[in-house]
């Protein structure tokens, strides 16, 4: 190598070293905290919320980036988001040209509180809505987003219901957004993995939720979804499709060998039923303007099990003497079919498990249990609902209007060997105060009902009869 080339390389190398040293000195001497008020003001204007950084901000060099501690985002009434620590990875050269290019984002212990008021407004919505028509949102890309030990609390002030998600971990990669102006999630795409330690709503607990996550063209998909629920492992998938103005939500879930005791206990019910069973749900909900989301629900729901234990009574003994004793309301047995995640609201007027007033003691066995429902436009219709004890068979048919929260001609029957009703009794009216004939279900559960023969239509003894049930559950051998 000649002397001239060596001199050029030396000059270039010296220049590179000088630039690196200058940047290094800049990083050591630059006080980013002096710019905190400007950063807070810019972030507040961009979000329409109050953004504050209470902790220290730091500039790091290897890798290059900015960190900030103790961030808080609030509206005029309450805090919405808090973050223990935020780390932003950035490219250095664009910053020297007064351009900001963020390559990664890491959030430690973020806590989000979402409140929906009685008028349907969320706490993160601004009081003034600015038109985005004709405007183009800024496109951006991010190599990686990491969220560690996050928490979300959702409160519906109208119903008073609260849902909590704890220890949320999310790793998303190759994040890109094309045009964010009014597009919601339509322009966002990424791939990642999600884990949530616990989802809790009243007595319902779902644990160890794991899933692969993909977002593309307004569709977020959860695949290979698993969770621990009702003492069993669940698996399935779910999607949120917001590619059109009206969103569509889909879920398929299968739970094998669930614990019936934990199932009914998850909805605030005392120990009534025990044993193992299987649950399958395939549901679609379509959003349409401001209508009730349940009104756009279609699909199917199935719950079944064998050799279940009734802890509160000997049901065979009660049913065998039903003709003469009339000690309880026959429709109370419908609670066994109705109980479950699909329609727990339908038990508002029931004191589930109070059949025979729980005063007779003893235990019973349901040898086979099937509860299949088809859902269309928010109305669940019993397609095959029946159970057998060792000596009796009981079936249910009718509809549950989940939109208007009403029983629609629900009938429970004690069957003979031909599938005809020996006794049948109906329940109708609002879930909150259902009627059994002219008698309130709540009253009948508090004591015996008289003159059941007048209310139970008729008692069939042999001969031809109108078949009430011809599903999968067969009459037990006497």
Q: What is the pLDDT of residues 191-215, one digit of tens each?
A: 999 999 999 988 889 999 999 999 9
Amino acid 288: pLDDT: 80
Contact indicator for 43, 86 with CB cutoff of 8 Å? no
Rounded to whole angstroms, the Cα distance separating 305 from 263 reads 12
Give residue for tokens 């969770």.
227
Query: Using alpha carbons only, how large is the chain's radius of gyration in Å?
Result: 31
Dig out the tokens for 285 from the structure.
Answer: 């909900």
Mean pLDDT of the chain: 79
Element (H, E) at 212: strand 204-216
pLDDT band with cut points at 50, 70 and 90 for residue 302: very high
Rounded to whole angstroms, the Cα distance separating 371 from 412 reads 13
Q: What is the pLDDT of residues 152-193, one digit of tens each?
A: 999 988 888 899 999 999 999 998 877 554 445 677 899 999
Q: What are 197-200's contacts with CB under 8 Å, separation 24+?
A: 197/166, 197/167, 197/168, 198/164, 198/165, 198/166, 198/167, 199/163, 199/164, 199/165, 200/163, 200/164, 200/165, 200/166
pLDDT band with cut points at 50, 70 and 90 for residue 432: confident
Core vs surface per residue 407-426: b (16+ CB within 10 A) or e:
beebbbbbbbebbbbbbbbb
Rounded to whole angstroms, the Cα distance separating 377 from 400 reads 11
In sequence order, the 6+-apart residues with CB closer than 8 A to the CB of 150 are 107, 109, 110, 111, 112, 165, 167, 168, 169, 170
Amino acid 345: pLDDT: 59
Which is higher by pLDDT, 228 or 459?
A: 228
**pLDDT for residue 436 is more than 70:** yes
- Kindly state the average pLDDT of the residues 432-439: 64
Q: What is the pLDDT of residues 127-152, one digit of tens each?
A: 444 444 445 555 678 899 999 999 99
Amino acid 2: pLDDT: 63
Contact indicator for 193, 213 with CB cutoff of 8 Å? yes
End-to-end Cα distance, the chain: 105
Q: What is the pLDDT of residues 337-374, one digit of tens each?
A: 776 555 555 665 555 445 544 445 678 899 999 999 99
How many residues are there in the chain?
478
Dig out the tokens for 122 from the structure.
Answer: 């969320």
Share of residues in the chain with pLDDT > 90 (%) = 40
Instruction: State if pTM tops 0.95.
Output: no
Rounded to whole angstroms, the Cα distance separating 279 from 342 reads 11
For 12, the 3-state DSSP assignment is helix
Amino acid 84: pLDDT: 95
Pick the closest to residue 387 from 411, 415, 421, 363 (CA basis). Answer: 415
**pLDDT for residue 77 is more than 90:** no
DSSP 8-state class, residue 34: G
Peptide bond before 346: cis, by omega within 30 degrees of 0?
A: no
Amino acid 24: pLDDT: 54
Contact indicator for 355, 332 with CB cutoff of 8 Å? yes
Checking DSSP bridges between strand 57-60 and strand 50-53, what pairing results, if any?
A: unpaired
Region of poorest pLDDT, from 37-46, 129-138, 437-446: 437-446
Contact indicator for 352, 335 with CB cutoff of 8 Å? yes
**pLDDT for residue 68 is more than 80:** yes
Contact indicator for 273, 308 with CB cutoff of 8 Å? yes
pLDDT band with cut points at 50, 70 and 90 for residue 47: confident
Element (H, E) at 264: helix 260-265
């Amino acid at each position: 190598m000649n002397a001239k080339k060596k001199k050029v390389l030396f000059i270039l190398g010296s220049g590179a070293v000088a630039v690196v040293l200058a940047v290094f000195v800049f990083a050591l001497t630059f006080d980013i905290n002096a710019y905190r008020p400007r950063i807070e003001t810019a972030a507040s204007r961009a979000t329409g919320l109050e953004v504050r950084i209470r902790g220290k901000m730091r500039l790091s060099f290897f890798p290059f980036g900015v960190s900030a501690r103790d961030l808080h985002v609030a509206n005029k009434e309450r805090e919405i988001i808090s973050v223990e620590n935020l780390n932003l990875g950035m490219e250095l050269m664009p910053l020297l040209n007064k351009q900001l290019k963020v390559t990664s984002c890491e959030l430690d212990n973020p806590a989000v509180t979402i409140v929906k008021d009685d008028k349907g407004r969320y706490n993160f919505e601004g009081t003034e809505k600015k038109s985005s028509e004709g405007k183009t949102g800024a496109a951006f890309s991010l190599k990686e987003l990491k969220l560690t030990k996050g928490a979300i609390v959702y409160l519906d002030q109208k119903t008073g219901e609260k849902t909590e998600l704890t220890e949320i971990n999310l790793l998303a990669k190759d994040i890109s957004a094309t045009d964010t102006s009014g597009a919601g999630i339509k322009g966002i795409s990424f791939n990642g993995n999600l884990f949530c330690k616990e989802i809790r709503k009243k007595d319902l607990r779902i644990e160890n939720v794991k899933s692969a996550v993909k977002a593309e063209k307004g569709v977020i998909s959860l695949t290979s979804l698993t969770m621990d629920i009702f003492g069993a492992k669940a698996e399935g998938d779910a999607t949120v499709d917001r590619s059109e103005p009206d969103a569509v939500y889909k879920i398929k879930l299968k739970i094998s060998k669930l614990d019936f005791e934990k199932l009914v206990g998850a909805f605030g019910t005392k120990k009534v039923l025990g044993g193992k069973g299987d649950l399958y749900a395939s549901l679609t909900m379509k959003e349409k303007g401001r209508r009730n989301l349940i009104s756009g629900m279609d699909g199917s729901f199935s719950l079944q099990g064998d050799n279940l234990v009734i802890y509160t009574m000997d049901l065979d003994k009660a049913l065998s003497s039903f003709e003469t004793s009339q000690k309880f309301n026959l429709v109370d047995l419908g609670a066994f079919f109705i109980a479950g995640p699909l329609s727990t609201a339908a038990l508002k007027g029931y004191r589930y498990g109070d059949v025979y007033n729980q005063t007779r003691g003893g235990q019973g066995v349901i040898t086979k249990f099937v509860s299949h429902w088809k859902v269309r436009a928010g109305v669940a219709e019993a397609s095959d609902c029946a159970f057998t004890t060792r000596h009796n068979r009981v079936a249910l048919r009718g509809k549950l209007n989940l939109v208007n929260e009403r029983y629609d001609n629900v009938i429970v029957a004690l069957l003979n060997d031909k599938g005809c009703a020996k006794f049948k009794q109906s329940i109708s009216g609002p879930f909150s105060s259902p009627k059994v004939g002219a008698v309130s279900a709540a009253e009948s559960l508090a004591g015996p009902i008289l003159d059941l023969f007048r209310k139970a239509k008729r008692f069939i003894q042999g001969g031809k009869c109108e078949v009430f049930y011809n599903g999968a559950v067969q009459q037990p051998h006497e």
